[in-house]
Amino acid sequence: MSSDESGDESTRKNPESPEDPVEKISQSLEQKLSLDDTDPDGQSNVKVLETVDLKGLIKHWKNGGFKKIVTMVGAGISTSAGIPDFRSKGTGLYNNLQKYKLPYPTAIFEVSFFIGNPKPFFSLAKELYPGRFKPTPCHYFIKLLNEKKLLLRHYTQNIDTLERIAGVPDEKLVEAHGTFYTSHCIARKCKQEYSKEWMKEKIFKDVVPKCDKCNTLVKPDIVFFGESLPEKFYTLPPEDFKECDLLIIMGTSLEVQPFASLIHLVNEKCVRLLINREIVGKAPDAYLDYDGLNFDSPTNYRDIALLGDCDDGVKTLISELGLTDEFEKLVNEQSEQLSNEQSTSEKVTDESAKKHSHDGKL
């Protein structure tokens, strides 16, 4: 289940964080304004790439110019896995929620609605539950970056856990809108944690999950409207984006805040590559109208767009880098491992179902 839009608020605040994240980002931008290396006419004196295009990026990469890559992604990297995004006309998730008889589409991700009527959410969760879908080339590309010791951090708006399934380690992940990987009792005095296996068993038995300790609702750790983002989102970006030398943005509208504002936090020498179906994040539309992706400007020295389906863009990048054989080997190994794990899981599930069936006859 992907969520480029599941946290679709103009801003979010974390009451447990000492600073408002939007204020923190604003302060970073103000500091950046005073540090930009520009001449009196506003022309940048920074030169990173020989040519500001894919050819220049590939040459710089092959010469060892990128050592700390940060990736930022949205629902577009998971649509080829069969998971709908949220807002595409006709196929988006919000267009297909009529059967749940919601007062309005986004109610399914509101805590107040969930507490009073959790069944629609868990019905949708069963339909789109992680584990029913396989990683895409984009997910395996991120895994490949990590294997080659190039991935500094991966920031995702998605809640489908496909990065984890592809083998990206937890310490490299910032799941900005939460995850199905863990769940918690919603009672403030309890907060008992539950595993993804526990939650999956409940959902696939069509049972509304209740806490074993206090019988209160248990909710997957995905971020609903009005909830705090994970602590990692507040603590890691300042250093990550300061160190980053290549920012790869894939499959996102760059409209959901505060996630979209991360593109502004990179240092002035960081190259930014957009792999997407359309241009997004340009300066006139960018948060605070400052330092958006600057593809068409004569002053552009670092922003490159590779337009089309994300999978195709990633394959082009891999091919140009001469990594096709290595990438295909990784995909085959991971796919085989997933198949073995799935077979084991299905066997355990079948045995459990037979046991429950037998117990019911006693």
CA–CA distance, 326 with 311 (Å, rounded to integer): 16
Options 139, 154, 177, 264, the catalytic residue = 177
Sign of the alpha-carbon dihedral angle for 123, 129, 132, 134:
positive
pLDDT at 35: 42
Instruction: Determine the Cα angle at 243 with ends 163 and 251, to 5°.
Output: 35
270 is in an annotated binding site: no
The arithmetic mean of pLDDT across residues 69-96, rounded, is: 75
22 pLDDT more than 80 = no
Lowest mean pLDDT among 165-179, 190-204, 235-249, 275-289: 275-289
Q: What's residue 116's pLDDT?
A: 93
Query: Any binding-site annotation on 228?
Result: no
Q: What pTM value is reported for the model? A: 0.81
Main-chain phi, psi angles of 155, to 5 degrees? -105, 125
pLDDT of residue 304: 98
Predicted confidence band at 38 (pLDDT cuts at 50, 70, 90)?
A: very low
Across the beta sheet with 193-195, the strand order is 193-195, 178-185, 218-222
How many Cα neighbours within 13 Å face the side chain of 102?
23
DSSP state of 264: G
Whether 138 has a binding-site annotation, put simply, is no
pLDDT of residue 260 exceeding 60: yes
Average pLDDT on 254-278 reads 94
The predicted model gives 118-136 an average pLDDT of 85
Of 73, 176, 107, 161, the closest CA to residue 338 belongs to 161
- Exposure pattern of 76-99 as b/e (b: 16+ CB <10 Å)? bbbbbbebbbbbeeeebbbeebee
pLDDT cut 70: percent of the chain above it: 75
Alpha-carbon span 80 to 67, nearest angstrom: 29
Mean pLDDT within 123-139 = 85
340 is in an annotated binding site: no
Cβ atoms of 115 and 121 closer than 8 Å: no
On whether 159 is known to bind a ligand per the annotation, the reply is yes
Please check the confidence at residue 91 and state whether its pLDDT lies above 80. no
- What tokens appear for 105 in the block? 């589409």
Tell me what pLDDT residue 296 has.
Answer: 86
Q: Binning pLDDT at 50, 70 and 90, where does residue 292 land?
A: confident
pLDDT tier, 302 (very low <50, low <70, confident <90, very high otherwise)? very high
Is the dihedral angle over the CA atoms 24, 29, 32, 34 positive or is it negative?
Answer: negative
Considering only residues 314 and 291, tell me which one the structure prediction assigns the higher pLDDT. Answer: 314
Q: Quick check: 17 pLDDT over 50?
A: no
Domains and CATH numbers, the chain: 38-82+135-177+231-340 (3.40.50.1220)
Does position 171 have pLDDT exceeding 90, yes or no? Answer: yes
Q: Does the annotation list 115 as a binding residue?
A: no
Rg over CA atoms, the chain: 22
Confidence of residue 9 (pLDDT cuts 50, 70, 90): very low
Taking residues 118-147, report their average pLDDT: 90
Residue 3 pLDDT more than 80?
A: no
CA dihedral 84, 7, 271, 283 (to 10 degrees): 100
Q: Which of 5-9, 53-57, 337-341 has the lowest mean pLDDT?
A: 5-9
Q: Is 303 annotated as a binding residue?
A: no
Smallest CA-to-CA distance from 256 within 18, 19, 73, 102 is with: 73
pLDDT recorded at residue 83: 80
What amino acid occupies position 361?
K
Helix (H, G, I), strand (E, B) or coil at 302: coil
Q: Which residues contact 175 (CB under 8 A, 6 or more apart)?
A: 156, 158, 159, 181, 230, 232
Mean pLDDT of 307-330: 98
On whether the CB atoms of residues 77 and 310 are closer than 8 A, the answer is: yes
Is 356 labeled as catalytic in the residue annotation? no
User: Which strands sit side by side in the sheet containing 173-175, from one edge to the other?
Assistant: 173-175, 151-156, 69-73, 246-250, 271-276, 303-307
